[in-house]
Chain A
Amino acid sequence: MDTPHEAAPAATWDAACAAAVSVRGLRKGFDGRAVLQDLDWVVPEGRVIGLLGRNGAGKTTLLRCLLGLSPIDAGSIEMLGEPMDEPRGQRLHRIGYVPQSFDLFPWMRIDAFLDFPAAFYRRWDVALVERLLGTWQLDRSRKIAALSQGQRQMLAIVRALAPDPDLLVLDEPVASLDPIARRDFLVTLLPLVRRPGKTVIFSTHITTDLERVDADIALLRGGRIVLTRALAEISARFRRAVLTRAQGFVLVPPLAGAWGARIEEAKAIYVIDESDAAQRAALDQLAAREQATVELAPLDLEDLFVELA
């Protein structure tokens, strides 16, 4: 079933706000398989963006393309006000990056790994590094290869936060962290991102973390950003509509403008934007035509992700 977001242009935030990231017509494929297709996306400065999408949707590819780590097939990318066709020197020092799998310099010891970048950055928060290494019990003398996946992720986070970046790109940064470390990370992240001009792009499957940091949501599906909304707006607008009738539903009746539609236990279930009057009217007409009752229920972010992704 067609959903409106596939045809509609990606929504944007306040146009007056400067863009930390601006993507136009981005295309990227591997071995003839298109992963990103004419993707447009604007990330305003000073926001925390939760990038959501199913496994294989292209989140990591998108983030690597943004950072210039993966060549693009077509389109244009601007990061912090400059085209990303070349690294352009000090601009990279304003960006922090936590990769999905941290396999950098496995032969090095933690202290040497941190000493090296510290020598190059003008801003390097030694106190923050010491605090995080202490809190997360990362022994400076250990080799990176000897760390667990979670500890490597902690180290990557320390490294990314230390230069106090203006733009922080986090590719599933907490996937391997235990709940305590995850909470520590979010506690550390919050004051950083609440300062003016700081932007975070946060790819994750743990939607509760996005709710905790009050992130705006960008949903990647079919190679495009199909939804960009503030979290509060999503909570206020999106609803699950359940159509029930005595004989049940075998096929899901089409509903114009619905964001998602499926059958579950002989009930027709839709995701609708309640603030869209046309959609609401279409739902009422459908219910009348199918002699069904309508029940609207709020959606949390995880529900929405399950319905839309």
Chain B
Amino acid sequence: MRAALNLALLPLRIAPWAIVAIVILIGLGGVLSTLGAHPAPWIALVFAAVGLWFLWMLAGAALKGIARKETLLLPDFPRALAQAGTAWALLFWLAPCLIVAARFGLRPAWMALGGGAVGAAWAVLSTSGSRSGLWVWVLIVGARFVPPSLWLALEPALTSAWLPLTGLLLAALLLRLTGQRLFPAGDPPLPESPLAAPDPMRRGGGSGAPSAPRSRLVRRLYDWSGAGAGTRLKRMAARYHAAPSAARERTLLRALLLPAEQPRGWLVRWLLFGTFVTIYALALGHGAQLGMVAGYATFFAMTGLNTVGAGMPRLQPSLVELYFTLAPQTRADFKSSLVDSFLGVLPGAILSAFVYTTLAALLIDRTQWLQVLTTTAILAPPLALGTLALYLNLPGNVILRTVVTIITVFGQMGAYWTGYALLTRFGPLWGGAPTLVLTWGFAIGAWTAARRHWIDGPLSFDPPRAKAGA
């Protein structure tokens, strides 16, 4: 029983701040629903549903933290997990449904039972390393293409009293998928470089390392890219050995640390991210604001830059080998070599920005492609450098890190959107020149400061300390 209690309380322990935020959110919904001349209880219902959704996501994150094969060897672990799951279901699924039944009646409660089960199961699945969250886009895009006649045919099913039962069955399926995702059969996948650029086909595993893709086609693409990286490293090593120089050392170091930053790696990334940019652009359709869509496409292009800050702690043990091989004069020289090698991620990010924004322009408004291309040419290089600078010294605290990441992502997209608007309104000269000066000014200043701070920081060769629930 104690093991079950520990498991049930685990989500609260790993992120107490999140629990407080969720309680505040649900409380806020309760307060808002009572305000005004006409109280609106549905507001409380919506806030509670969102709060419970986050709570179940937290449960998924906690499960992911303990999802090791060794965990299954713990005595009675499956039973303890089932007991903890039952306690959670009673408190955060059945009890809210009973409240709905008491306040709104039996039919809404029955709908809440089915919808709540799907929501909770989906929340757990989406935090277990699955890309299921992207299904939302597939549903949105799919819904746009459903003919009205089909909607009419579907209407009885959508309003049927049996619909929640389908929800319960779907929830059972999602929970089964979660179990397979958390405790997969077979050997764990081989790791990739901590600094390898991410892509939409894989997410962080329990150790924070990117997990291997499941699709055979995607795996083949990665193998093809990996073979390209290996060949490039060999070529660069031979070149450096034949005639050593600082520039060749930098190139060789980049080939080692950033294996995905080579033509094959870029092509694979463009293919995979391009699919998602296409889905996003199609979802929004021709009426969408192109600047906003291209800004979002730029965000896709810059995601790889985050890996430099986030992947560095996992690279630390491997730095021992680099330390002996590079044989620097001073530690500061060593850190300078490393930090300058990170600039190798910029060409890929800038080229990706061109590819994705052009793709977005062609799908949304073909007449504006040149405008978009000009905006990207002006903004992508400084945005990439500025983003790299902001990600370089990501704080260790998870909340601060999330805040920095969110600010950086919205800053990127906002900067692109603003730049596009300025160029459209004032033209390439009067709109582009100030944008160019401002963004490059920020990027160079941010990079110089971040580089200095990184070099002055302590040099560690130890692996990052494991965190519970991480």
Contacts and interface: CB of A to CB of B under 8 A. Distances in A.
B237 interface: yes
A38 to B, nearest CB: 24
B329 interface: yes
Interface in A96-151: 97, 99, 103-109, 111-112, 115-121, 143, 145-146
Given A104-B320, A105-B321, A143 B190 contact: yes
B461 interface: yes
Interface string A26-56: 0000000000000000000000000000000
Contacts of B237: 115-116, 118-119
A95 interface: yes
A93 interface: yes
A170 B281 CA distance: 57
Contact of B240 (A86, A87, A120, A143): A120
Nearest to A159: B321
B327 A93 contact: yes
- Output the residue of A87, A104, A146 with the most chain B CB within 10 A: A87
A103 B317 contact: yes
A236 interface: no
Contact of B191 (A93, A106, A117): A106
B433 interface: no
Contacts of A115: 233-234, 237
A87 B331 contact: yes
Nearest to A102: B317
Interface in A60-113: 64, 68-71, 86-93, 95, 97, 99, 103-109, 111-112
**B-side interface size class:** 20 to 34
A105 B57 CA distance: 33
A97 B320 contact: yes
Chain B contact residues, majority secondary structure: helix
Given A115-B237, A116-B233, A118-B237, A105 B328 contact: no
A89 B328 CA distance: 5
B193 interface: yes
A89 B323 CA distance: 10
A71 B458 contact: yes
Given A87-B331, A118-B241, A120-B327, A109 B230 contact: yes
A99 B318 CA distance: 11
Nearest to A88: B329
Contacts of B230: 109, 111-112
Given A92-B324, A107-B190, A116-B256, A87 B329 contact: yes
A104 B318 contact: yes
Contacts of B241: 118-120
Contact of B327 (A90, A106, A107, A119): A90
Given A115-B237, A117-B325, A107 B334 contact: no
A250 B390 CA distance: 68
A292 to B, nearest CB: 51
Contacts of B259: 107
B320 A145 contact: no
A108 to B, nearest CB: 8
B194 to A, nearest CB: 8
Interface string A212-226: 000000000000000
Given A105-B321, A107-B191, A146-B190, A92 B233 contact: no
Nearest to A115: B237
A39 B10 CA distance: 44
A119 B462 CA distance: 25
A131 B397 CA distance: 48
Contact of A107 (B192, B238, B252, B331): B192
B463 interface: yes
Contacts of A106: 190-191
Contact of B190 (A86, A116, A145): A145
B198 to A, nearest CB: 14
Nearest to A69: B461
B330 interface: yes
Given A97-B320, A112-B233, A118-B241, 15 more contacts: A69-B461, A70-B461, A71-B458, A89-B327, A92-B324, A93-B324, A93-B327, A103-B317, A104-B317, A105-B256, A108-B256, A115-B233, A117-B324, A117-B325, A120-B241
19 contacts: A69-B461, A70-B461, A70-B462, A87-B328, A89-B327, A89-B329, A90-B327, A93-B324, A106-B191, A107-B190, A109-B230, A112-B233, A112-B234, A116-B237, A116-B256, A119-B237, A119-B240, A145-B190, A159-B321
Interface of B: 190-193, 196, 230, 233-234, 237-238, 240-241, 244, 252, 256, 259, 317-318, 320-321, 323-331, 334, 458, 461-463
Interface of A: 64, 68-71, 86-93, 95, 97, 99, 103-109, 111-112, 115-121, 143, 145-146, 159
